């Protein structure tokens, strides 16, 4: 027997998307008059309904570890901006660009996609892409003395936390579930 969706779930299939859409509309309008509020409510109802087929439910995640990872990435981005500015504004002979591959420890799609994204947004590195068949991420680093040390750093600082966030220990490559 099919379970009926609650009234709340039918009207707001993704409450966070609804709130975000409505607030974004109000901020873009720079107005809180009646028409803007009614428009925001309509948008908050319609946008998530239209996007529902494309939005996959987020798996259960470990929020404290997520927050710590967010702070670590934010800190690394701030430090990397200064480091990259110093390198780019300094003599070109100091640059040692390197391509290297980071072997992925898991087959978990969320972990691997977010790891590639973190690598990409951190100044000084550009992720060239995930190679699913090889099970690694190809990275271009602006300046690296020791690629093995960089790989170890990325796996310990980011990948291990992502695995914990998504409880992806059972998807570790080479281990049986």
pLDDT tens digits, 93-148: 888 899 999 999 999 988 999 999 999 999 988 777 888 889 999 999 999 999 99
Percentage of the chain modeled with pLDDT above 70: 94
Beta carbons of 85 and 124 less than 8 angstroms apart: no
Q: What was the pLDDT predicted at 11? A: 77
The C-alpha atoms of residue 102 and residue 160 are separated, in whole angstroms, by 13
Q: What is the residue extent of each domain of the chain?
A: 7-54, 63-171
Which residues, other chains included, contact 150 with Cβ-Cβ below 8 Å and sequence gap of 6+? Answer: 100, 139, 141, 144
3-state class of 166 per DSSP? coil
Options 3.10.28, 1.20.5, 3.30.70, 2.60.40; CATH for 63-171 is: 3.30.70
CA dihedral (17, 18, 24, 30) in degrees, to 10, reads -170
The number of angstroms, rounded, from the C-alpha of 27 to the middle of its chain's C-alpha atoms is: 24
């Amino acid at each position: 027997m099919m379970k009926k969706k609650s009234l709340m779930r039918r009207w707001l299939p993704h409450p966070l998307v609804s709130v975000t859409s409505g607030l974004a509309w109000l901020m873009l309008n720079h107005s809180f008059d009646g028409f803007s509020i009614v428009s925001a409510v309509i948008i908050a109802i319609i946008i998530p309904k239209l996007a529902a087929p494309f939005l996959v439910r987020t798996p259960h995640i470990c929020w404290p570890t997520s927050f710590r990872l967010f702070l670590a990435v934010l800190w690394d981005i701030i430090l990397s901006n200064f480091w990259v500015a110093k390198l780019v504004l300094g003599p070109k002979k100091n640059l040692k660009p390197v391509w290297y591959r980071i072997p992925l420890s898991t087959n978990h799609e969320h972990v691997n996609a977010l790891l590639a994204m973190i690598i990409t947004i951190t100044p000084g590195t550009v992720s060239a892409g995930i190679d699913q068949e090889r099970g690694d991420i190809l990275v271009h680093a602006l300046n690296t003395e020791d690629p093995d040390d960089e790989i170890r750093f990325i796996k310990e600082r980011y990948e291990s936390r992502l695995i914990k966030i998504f409880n992806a220990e059972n998807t570790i490559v080479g281990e049986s579930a």
